[in-house]
Structure 1
Amino acid sequence: MNSYSIADATKPYTEYDMIRDHTELPELPNFRTQLLYAFLNKSPAAGQQSELYALVASLAQMGLDTHDLVAETNDRKEKKEARSRQLKVLAGDYFSSRFYQLLAQAGQVEMTGHMATAICEVNRLKMNMYTRIRQWKMTADEYMQQAVSIKMQLFLTFSRLLEGMKPNSWPDMLHGYTSCEVLLDELRRIERGNDLRSGWAFWHLLQIGTKEEKKQLKNGESDPGKLRTLLHKYNVRATLLQMLDAQFNQLSDKIRQFDSDKLAGELHRIGDPFARAIAASRALEEV
């Protein structure tokens, strides 16, 4: 199974007309899933199950991410919005049920328990993060650390199968790729110009802005236009780009240390979107 077929393998479980026509789904966790498959495929302890584990990890993460899209309140009573909200809940439950089913059919009872434990830990980390956000105790650095930790957690389940490959290589590489993924997501959030109040940039502005700007941000008085003005004023996009560039350089250095040229080549290929995003952003700044 290559990077294309991992995504292709999820289609029978994710591509339904009812869901596609009435609500949106999150993107597949491609970076983490491809990385997991690359490592599992080189592990004597997991090689025969690499395709299964990559598939169930993708479905389990899709279930978590789909539930994250459910609005906190149900204020909008329009039929279309209500149906979309209901389908997100049902779709998230469905993805979770299918990963359980696939593991059960393969007799992977122990792995089912490990993944269930990881899902509980993901939800615990999310609750801690949401609590700190509501209490205004979050910093930009802490936001980044917690966002990476939440995205990593489910995939750390497979660490026990990868211990023999190279000491600590799996958690370390997972952290590096996930950090790049979060930074790239934050850059794209700025480029889209929506949902700006829930990302790293918001907490960064809350730390470096003037007293009046911080007051406006906390009181929710800054409309998207004003937020974009602050992003430009403090050159937030360039800061994120520098962070991504530095993280990707660290990741590339670690990849070059692997003994397996084939694995190193696969890891470089998985990281290509980060390199392209950095190059494209630099070219845009030079225009």
Structure 2
Amino acid sequence: MSKEHTPYVEEVRLIVEQIYKRSTHPFVEYYVDVPSMAENRLELLYLFLLEQGMTKERAVTFCTATGLVQLGLDMHEHVKNEYEQSETAERSRQLTVLAGDYYSARYYHLLAEASEIKAIQTLSGAIQRVNEAKMKLYTAGRDGKLPTDEEYWELRNMIDTGLYVAIVEEYADSEDSRRFWMELMKETAKVESVIGEWEQIKWQEQVPFGFARFLLQKPGATLAQVLSSVEHTAMELIGMCEQMVRTLHPVETRSMLSAITARYSHRINRLKRVIEEM
């Protein structure tokens, strides 16, 4: 990565550090696996806010608050319906739920301190929509009523990007900007999801819960077909993201976004090399 990107990347890393600093607790960490942050989405949100003319200080506050909420929602998604019958397992389940609530609540305190009332309302509405999408996807899988590919991604996108898209919708300074950043958020999240599943299938030899599992549940589907479909989807999505970025102005923003999409290409190329050597 060129030197011109270094300060920007470092600023986002500091935001991630702030999120973990505000959310970690030794007792909770002993029993609960804290999810990793979706750093690329935070980078996109930070870059979007700066492009809208926000000060860095205010953009950091927004990103930190959004990251805290996302961490809480991701924590809740890790709660299992069934645990082994032991005191440790039950405590882990209880703490996972409580930790998710705690992380989500921290955003409110942070934004209230900054008097960002509109941002509180924006994220509160997004939290409700994300939880509704989770319930719809869970219910469809439980009842065997699989949605179409488009319906699946609509729900998955809401779960993964609902918070970030809500900020974009509320704070974009033009309709073109709103449309571009919302679409970029959704497409890059799909790329991350699909590449992650592709890697898990090839390296861990198991089908993760997600798009691959959704495809495998279709009548007559085979693992080979699913793997081929996931690979094709990953390549298609990264191409779409790169095309979107090439049309963006100003050039400085386009250059920064190109660095983000290049990471996806690097992961895909690395995975393909590994597959060829197997």
Q: TM-score range by the shorter chain?
A: 0.7 to 0.9
Choose between structure 1 and 2 for higher RCO, CA contacts under 8 A separated by at least 6 residues: 1
What is aligned with 1:200?
Answer: 211
CA-atom RMSD in angstroms: 2.1
What does 1:227-242 align with in structure 2 at a 5 Å threshold? 230-231=222-223, 234-242=224-232
Change (3 A) 1:81 1:126: same
The answer as to 2:17 corresponding to 1:5 is no
After TM superposition, list the pairs within 5 Å mapping 1:1-287 onto structure 2: 2-44=11-53, 48-73=57-82, 75-139=83-147, 141=149, 142-158=151-167, 159-164=169-174, 166=177, 168-190=179-201, 191-194=203-206, 196=207, 198-207=209-218, 209=220, 230-231=222-223, 234-287=224-277
**Unaligned segments of structure 1, at least 5 residues:** 211-229
- 2: CA distance between counterparts of 1:143 and 1:46? 37
Q: CA deviation at 1:181?
A: 1.6
CA contact (8 A) 2:238 2:264 kept: yes
Query: Deviation string for 1:181-232 (max 9, x for gaps)?
Result: 22123223423345x363222221232527xxxxxxxxxxxxxxxxxxx52x
The structure-2 alpha-carbon separation of the partners of 1:199 and 1:77, relative to structure 1 and needing over 3 Å to count, comes to same
TM-score by length of 1: 0.84
Q: Deviations over 1:74-110 (max 9, x none)?
A: x523122122112211210110111000000001112
Amino acid across the alignment from 2:162: Q
Cα deviation for residue 253 of structure 1 reads 1.1
Which 4+ stretches in 1 moved above 6 angstroms?
Answer: none
Q: Percent identity?
A: 24
How far apart are the structure 1 equivalents of 2:213 and 2:249? Answer: 41
Q: Is the 8 A contact 2:133 2:156 kept in 1?
A: no
Asked if 1 retains the 8 angstrom alpha-carbon contact of 2:28 and 2:95, the reply is yes
SS in 2 for 1:168: helix
| SS of equivalent to 1:13 | helix
